[in-house]
Structure 1
Amino acid sequence: MIRSMYSGIGGMKNFQTKLDVIGNNIANVNTFGFKKGRTTFKDLVSQQLAGASNPTDNRGGTNPRQIGLGGTLASVDTIHTQGSLQTTGRALDLGISGDGFFIVNDGNLSYYTRAGNFYLDREGTLVTADGLKVQGYLPDPVSGQIDPNRFGDLKVEAGNVIPPQATTDVSLKGNLNANLPVGATPPEYVYVQYKVTDSLGGQHDLRMQFERTGAGAWNYTAERFDKEIVPPGSPWVPLTTPATGTLNFDSNGALITTGFPIPATNMVLSTAELGTSTNQVNADPVTIPLSVNMFQGLTQFEGSNTADVDQINGNSEGFLESFNISQTGEINGIYTNGEVRILGQMAMATFNNTGGLTKSGDNLFQVSNNSGVPNIGFAGQGRGVIAGSSLEMSNVDLSEEFTEMIVAQRGFQANTRIITTSDEILQELVNLKR
């Protein structure tokens, strides 16, 4: 009799806990990155009335006789299923499609979150709504490429400036027409025109002239554009330090690189050539190696002339104009000079046991004894990818929650009936004394 009353009390407590979890889920139905909870139960120890017996030659075995003493809470799980992604159109809103967490830091501890509504503080640091700093990988100050060994706060500083960088490398690609007449007149030469940058950020026009001199043989000459020459003279003149040479192609149209003959080792645009007689500059000379790397992209086939610039380095001064964030978390800064530089790359963390993370409020999770250590790396490498201008919504399903609420409510009512029924029977026992 008394056992049933305590079973009813235990059941009421269990369903009250279930209602608490359901209420929290419903309250966070619109919380970005929220992961719903789930309550499970288990039965308590059972009172042994009789144990099981072994079968004998004359009598079969018997099963144990036990009376259960109610149920108790087994677990409150965090369900880390994917929430739907909602497009916001805001550059600093980031959702995760797949596994993984953003890493944020308050200076002492690291936290993990799926809520990607980030902001910039006055110093340009990427932060959460509560000011925790988003963590990621930083670029190498020399190469500009992401350095996996440099980890820290990510920044997008307004007005960030990249200084001028002189051109030091040019490579060409395309075809030189094998049908071009030998000893052609200048209008039939092949020209590749490009701009180079000096150490002060000034832009200068250069071109490479190609003249076919024989079967598989071409002479090249580097020329510069002289602004002071007016018609009828040509404004294109050879460099003061001659930069000429010969290219040879085999019968298959490929450049012969063995023993590559280059009379001049560098193409040099001197300081005097960088300015004019009325506007001199003090920039360093522009020096570009005339090596096989510059010409190895060229071919000689029959057909049209398609020779052009493949790659060229160097840039003028530029100011940060805008930025965007890629699927792998790269923060790409776009500058006024047309350059695109990587400002940083967001780090992502995964865990062996995601369900073992501890909720710490503010959409944050912390490592626990059973979550495992964070596996930190780039998005897309066994981790989810980042959806730009989107936010992950809560994974709470209202229809499911309301159904579970009805079940919990009826379960609570049924357990109250156990208590009232047990009380009525106890009342009958007391009335026997009358």
Structure 2
Amino acid sequence: MLRSMYSGISGMNGFQTKLDVIGNNIANVNTSGYKKGRVTFQDMMSQSLSGAEGPVMQGGNAIRGGVNPSQVGLGSQVGSIDNIHTVGNRQTTNRALDLALEGDGMFVLGEDANSDGNFDLSGNEVSFTRAGNFYLDDDGYIVNPDGKYLLGAVDSGEDGAEPALGRIQIPEDAESFSIQGTGEVTYVDPEDGATIAGTIRLAKFSNPGGLQKLGSNTYQLTANAGVYTDDDNNFNSIDDLVIPGQDGGASVVSGALEMSNVDLAEEFTEMITAQRGFQANTRIITTSDEILQELVNLKR
């Protein structure tokens, strides 16, 4: 059988994957905090028909020049599927619990707290997101649509102790609340007046493309995310999270949402190129089939 047929099949498979990614991008064009995907391709191994040869020397003189290798490629393959973490457009909602991040960083979400109500960053109960549509649950905790708690620095309850990473709670009898650009969540207590409920902390990554998608606009930490940490180089304490507006972290904008960074014009253009690439590879298969048919007809 002809090698070109198998090259065409590999090309078709690659462009099918590209169309799958494009379709997912378009489906999430209005998803808050969504980061678009991108497919890159690589050539597969090549079959060598002849190797390279250097010049032939005789008596210190070259009597014949060198020869380049002769190789036939065996098709293409998907090289990577990247998540592009550029900042999406900001949409104003004027809702206090809609939070957008202006800069680098992600909100930290948690579930299954420890017995003391705090969270361990090294565990699997922590995830990250850029989608800032938050709500208050029945106990006054700030949560995302799936009920995961928005984490930040809260009072540990011990005198003189450092703040702990925990859930931010606004009491039921609070008259009002606000969220500052530094992540500070304050509310007005009927008796004590303005009170700090906690400060939102952000996770900052040198390689956000290394995060793994979990669905529901959330990401999971991986060994290749390049997380910002303190001197011990372990992501396990509140010191490994940045305060909004400090250490290169994003500032928090209340009353707005970061929308998807999908550009429809770009996606439709990529869809056209993927479709034409798929058609070209099908043409390779049909042309190879015609050649094989001619070979079979030689018997007649």
- TM-score bracket relative to the smaller structure: 0.7 to 0.9
* Cα distance, 1:335 vs structure 2: 3.4
- Whether 1:97 aligns to 2:102 is yes
CA contact (8 A) 1:357 1:365 kept: yes
Task: Show the counterpart of 2:88.
Answer: 83
Letter in 2 for 1:324: S
Rate the CA distance shift 1:140–1:68 in 2: closer, same or farther, 3 A: closer
Letter in 1 for 2:139: E
Flag the structure with larger Rg.
1
The equivalences for 1:88-167 within 5 A come to: 88-107=93-112, 109-139=125-155, 148-159=162-173
Task: Show the counterpart of 2:116.
Answer: none
Task: Show the counterpart of 1:54.
Answer: 54
Deviations 1:262-310 (A, max 9, x none): xxxxxxxxxxxxxxxxxxxxxxxxxxxxxxxxxxxxxxxxxxxxxxxxx
Separation (CA, whole Å) in 1 of partners of 2:157 and 2:92: 34
Task: Show the counterpart of 2:255.
Answer: 389
Greater percentage in strand: 1
Deviations 1:20-44 (A, max 9, x none): 0000000000000000000000000
TM-score w.r.t. structure 2 length? 0.87
Mind listing any 5+ residue stretches in structure 1 that lack a counterpart? 160-319
CA contact (8 A) 2:156 2:163 kept: no
SS of 1:86 mapped into structure 2: strand
- Whether 1:40 aligns to 2:40 is yes
TM-score w.r.t. structure 1 length? 0.61
- Whether 1:68 aligns to 2:82 is no
CA contact (8 A) 2:107 2:202 kept: yes
CA contact (8 A) 2:107 2:150 kept: yes
Task: Show the counterpart of 1:233.
Answer: none
Task: Show the counterpart of 2:120.
Answer: none
* Cα distance, 1:154 vs structure 2: 0.8
- Whether 1:376 aligns to 2:234 is no
Letter in 2 for 1:122: D
Separation (CA, whole Å) in 2 of partners of 1:151 and 1:142: 14
The equivalences for 1:266-305 within 5 A come to: none
Greater percentage in helix: 2
CA contact (8 A) 2:141 2:149 kept: yes
Separation (CA, whole Å) in 2 of partners of 1:398 and 1:40: 19
Separation (CA, whole Å) in 1 of partners of 2:64 and 2:18: 47
Deviations 1:52-101 (A, max 9, x none): 11113111111111110000000000000000111101000001111111
Separation (CA, whole Å) in 1 of partners of 2:81 and 2:216: 19
Separation (CA, whole Å) in 2 of partners of 1:142 and 1:92: 29
SS of 1:6 mapped into structure 2: helix
Separation (CA, whole Å) in 2 of partners of 1:25 and 1:142: 47
CA contact (8 A) 1:139 1:342 kept: no
Task: Show the counterpart of 1:431.
Answer: 297
Mind listing any 5+ residue stretches in structure 2 that lack a counterpart? 57-61, 113-123, 228-234
Q: Percent identity?
A: 56
Task: Show the counterpart of 1:23.
Answer: 23
Separation (CA, whole Å) in 2 of partners of 1:148 and 1:74: 46
Please tell me the root mean square deviation across aligned C-alpha atoms, in Å: 1.7
Separation (CA, whole Å) in 2 of partners of 1:149 and 1:342: 12
* Cα distance, 1:140 vs structure 2: 6.3
Separation (CA, whole Å) in 1 of partners of 2:196 and 2:225: 33
* Cα distance, 1:125 vs structure 2: 0.8
Equivalent residue pairs, number: 272
CA contact (8 A) 2:155 2:163 kept: no
Separation (CA, whole Å) in 2 of partners of 1:141 and 1:75: 47
| Range with greater deviation from structure 2 (105-114 or 355-364) | 105-114
SS of 2:3 mapped into structure 1: helix
SS of 1:58 mapped into structure 2: strand
Separation (CA, whole Å) in 2 of partners of 1:369 and 1:430: 55
Separation (CA, whole Å) in 1 of partners of 2:158 and 2:196: 12
* Cα distance, 1:332 vs structure 2: 1.3
CA contact (8 A) 1:137 1:148 kept: no
Task: Show the counterpart of 1:275.
Answer: none
Separation (CA, whole Å) in 2 of partners of 1:149 and 1:125: 17
